[in-house]
Amino acid sequence: MARYILRRSGYMFVTMIFVAVIGFLIIELPPGSYLEFEIARLRQLGGDMAPEQIRALEIRYGVHDPIYLKFWKWFSGFVRGDFGRSFEHRLPVSELLWQRLGFTVLISVLTMIFSWVVSIIVGVYSATHRYTIPDYAITVLQFIGLSVPNFLLALVLMVFAQQVLGMEVGGLFSGAYRNAPWSLAKFIDLLKHLWIPILVIGASGTAWLSRVMRGNLLDVLNMQYVQTARAKGLPERTVVWKHAVRNALHPLVMVLGMSLPGIISGETVVAIVLNMPTTGPLYFRALLQQDMYLAVTFLMFLAVLLLIGNLFADILLAWLDPRIRFE
């Protein structure tokens, strides 16, 4: 097991290098970047400091170097934890990133837990109550969940929260707490705001996962070993949860690995609509503005999350199914 994780980590490192090279190249491809814009701005400003500053920037980021040197300058810094600067925000990338990554991970993890818990419960219920009125109602809701774009759902929920619940919507905090230091009251305020993004980001995933769960469980419930479990005299609850659900979870776990970065990039539009302090809007803007060090750092982090998610899913799958071998 430990050897397996170690070997997988090795593969992950190699994959990361590929992602870095390709990501860097693609971001570098179009002419112009925020760095050039910044240099032009400094040149225009003139003054005594400008030529010095420009030289320093050119050397630091290798503006006139061939591309492989440019890449190396960035990559060696990246490995040491120096992600470069965001020229638009005039801040080191790491500062911008850590500020927002926390909320992104929080929302992603909560969304994932939410959609897993709901989809397993709903999937099991509709599979064990197939072709009853609640099952049909759930099916309708699932298709609505799948087909409504989540920015629209975000807007609807915002209106609902404001008009009906009288909440101050948008962002993750009320105005009073936005810049306040952390306190219990601020935390409670955060919880009050969190449900909207979780619901919005999780809706389509939950609808889909519960559909998958239903289908799988229906297959598993027809398996002979479920009949064996019933023939032992086990209560139906144990038959379903212990013997059937466990064997129906495979596809859900496999999806888990994929959904980690999906949630992070998928929340971008929602985060823009809801005005949330997460990474999505920042990444989006960085790409538009060709603020390349910020963009490529995000890309790297998304790739790391995907790989970690996959590894985590594989380990979970091995725990779930004894037939899987670490070979």
- We find the least distance from the C-beta atom of residue 228 to other proteins, in angstroms, to be 5
| Per-residue mark of binding to other proteins, 4-23 (x: CB under 8 A) | --------------------
**Is 323 among the residues that bind other proteins (CB under 8 A)?**
yes
For other proteins, the closer of residues 158 and 239 by Cβ is 239
- For other proteins, which residue of 14, 81, 231, 327 counts as binding (CB under 8 A)? 231
If one counts every other C-beta atom within 10 angstroms of the C-beta of residue 241, the result is: 13
The runs of H, that is alpha helices, within 81-223 are 93-128, 133-147, 150-163, 184-221
Q: Which of 5, 144, 321, 326 is in the footprint of other proteins by CB under 8 A?
A: 321
Nearer to other proteins, 178 or 242 (CB): 242
Q: Which is nearer to other proteins, 30 or 233 (CB)?
A: 233
Structure tokens that stand for 79 in this block: 């490995």
Distances from the Cα of 121 to the Cα of 25, 43, 115, 203, 219, angstroms: 45, 62, 10, 15, 17
Nearest approach, Cβ of 288 to other proteins (angstroms)?
Answer: 49
Task: Confirm or reject binding of residue 166 to other proteins (CB under 8 A).
Answer: no
**3-state SS class at 86:** strand
Using rule CB under 8 A, residue 320 touches other proteins: yes
Q: Could you give the CA distance from residue 73 to residue 75 in angstroms, rounded to a whole number? A: 6
Taking CB under 8 A as the criterion, which residues in 186-225 touch other proteins?
223-225
Compute the least distance from the CB of residue 229 to other proteins, in Å: 7
Q: From the CA atom positions of the chain, what is the Rg in Å? A: 24
Distance, C-alpha 234 to centroid of its chain: 40
In whole angstroms, the minimum distance from the beta carbon of 118 to other proteins comes to: 23
Residue 236 in contact with other proteins, rule: CB under 8 A: yes
Q: Considering the rule CB under 8 A, would residue 316 count as an interface residue with other proteins?
A: no
Element (H, E) at 17: helix 2-28
What distance lies between CA 244 and its chain's CA centroid? 30
Site string for other proteins, 99-128 (x = CB under 8 A): ------------------------------
* Apex 252 CA angle, 320 and 246, nearest 5: 40
Q: Which is nearer to other proteins, 101 or 234 (CB)?
A: 234
Do the Cβ atoms of 288 and 16 come closer than 8 Å? no
**The binder of other proteins chosen from 19, 158, 201, 229 (CB under 8 A):** 229
Candidate segments 92-100, 157-165, 280-288, 318-326, binder of other proteins by CB under 8 A = 318-326
Six-digit token pair at 233? 């005299």
Residues that bind other proteins (rule: CB under 8 A) add up to a total of 20
Site for other proteins in 241-260 (CB under 8 A): 243, 246-247
- Burial grade of 50 (CB within 10 A; 0-12, 13-18, 19 or more): middle
- What residues are paired with 91 via a beta bridge? 86
Contact call for residue 1 and other proteins (CB under 8 A): no
Helix crossing, 133-147 with 93-128: angle to 10°? 150
Nearer to other proteins, 81 or 322 (CB): 322
Q: What is the binding site for other proteins (CB under 8 A)? A: 223-225, 227-236, 243, 246-247, 320-323
